[in-house]
A and B are shown apart, each in its own frame.
Chain A
């Protein structure tokens, strides 16, 4: 791999690292999600400094060019990340549904209690007036 390419790849992976750490530090990204991104940066770094590994993988999967190996795995990675988000979204949608149901029921119950109380309160008032 030409030196310039290598420097570029190393730079990119370092930037990814810094951005992620910074996001976690500012609590904008939960540790849970940061792991997957840190791993991505790490993998990029490894491939950048260890070009033979990329060549080995390329011949292993039968690709003709090292770049197609990168693109292929990049795509697979993005699909997996999306799938992961879909799973997360499903879980969150379910939790949100349960919360919304709970809120609806609790609100209605509270209002009902208030109505009963008001009725009772008024009743007592009337009784007091009568007496």
Chain B
């Protein structure tokens, strides 16, 4: 999955847009999400999905799969929000809130109306902020994101660590999958016991190979003249697009306007 996200980030149709534009856009919407109401949040989620699927040309299947994974987490927390437990003598206090209830001994378990509402408002907020996050993840390659962060003042050391981690996570994944395939080929995961044993071997081997790899890499970096700072050159060949900039600005303004209208309505009602 990780590798798929990465491939998409390098091949999507919005790759040539300047990464700082994309990042600013996503961050703005992300901030609006935090202060806004469910209707605006739903609009943000829909609009962002259009950017991702239609403008960036990312397959809806990949995008939905990502959303689905995140929604699983929401489902697990919904359970905790919707079900409440009170002592059975205080049932009267929650009469208005309970949709259905069941008394077991000293306890009363019930489904909370407010809890479900809360769950739904979390859902809209999660969908909106997730779509912003996925927009960043799916349309900006990591190395470009890092370059933007470096430019806006993320400490050099952090940037270097992130860059190297990003490069070598793939080496690690590769090694792990090679080992795993080799073990599979010799029935390493046939029963539960052998699986545990094989997994232990795999982790141990990975550690050993990581150290070995580290030694080799430090040699090769040294031979290429490493001087204490990890610098590479980034060519800047992005093309800002008027059409997309206009849509982003107008859309964000409308969303903000809607949000303000919402607030105004509440105040006039009061």
Whether chains A and B associate is no
Identify the A interface with B (CB < 8 A).
Answer: none
Identify the B interface with A (CB < 8 A).
Answer: none
